[in-house]
Structure 1
Amino acid sequence: MADKRRFDLFAQFLTERFPAPRIYDIAGGQGRLNEALSRLGRTVTTFDLRHKHLPVRYEQRMFTLEEPCECDLLVGMHPDGATRIIIEYAAKHRLPFAVVPCCSDNSMPYNPWRRYLADLARELGFPHVEEQELPMEGRSRVVLGDFSPR
């Protein structure tokens, strides 16, 4: 069972970690992370294919590398098959990213998948890649990358 606090916990983590005012939420489902981040003063656009969603800024389409860059941060809460494109897009536009991966798009087990994502970010030029833990049940490791010096 998924932790019902996951969106609020991730939103709090993101706002404490990144000063980014404009955020792309990739494969954001109904838009619950968007809703949580919006309550914290961020402008968020969720990209997903769902027809039913919350009344938030929502683009009902698949996110691609060709998307115009109008954000300061890319995020994904259990974005499934969109996890890799978040990192690739962030690298292309030199933006920070934060993802809470769950399952891979290639049947890779969870821990190797997380390591693969961190390695991918490094290969794409992110000088700062790390993992953090959210205080929640279930898949709670955040993989994040940033170009800013720490």
Structure 2
Amino acid sequence: MESKIPLPTDNLYKFFALFALVVFLSGFGTIIYATSATNTIAFEHWVELESLQALKEPTLEQAARLRSLERRIEVAVADKETYTLLGQFLIVAGVVGMYLGFSHWYMRIQPLADQMADTQLEIAKLQLLSLKADLKSKGIDVDKP
């Protein structure tokens, strides 16, 4: 199976910038995933946690379950904070990478590529003029379609 999306392997800086774009988007995905996972855990156990906290004299088993649920929510919140920081780092790294990659490509590499394309166009025009002159010298009319 062949990929239909061509990778920009013609230029390292373009590849670097697009990889940084993927890192940038992964940062947002990490934050969204962490928030969603934390909310799922919190809402999944919310009713049971509230009912156990409302008990005046919980049994040993109920008290253990209450501590377990509270600890699970604490861990989920701590994980969310960690993954949010990781996501923020990925976003910043992605922005910096995109800036460095695209700016280096646009300011240093692309002008050379444009100059090469202009030179090739000029060469092609000169070759066309030379071909027309050769054909005219042989008596062939090249101005008619």
TM-score range, shorter chain: under 0.3
> TM-score if structure 2 supplies the norm length?
0.17
Structure with higher helix content: 2
Structure with higher strand content: 1
Larger RCO (CA within 8 A; separation ≥ 6): 2
> TM-score if structure 1 supplies the norm length?
0.17
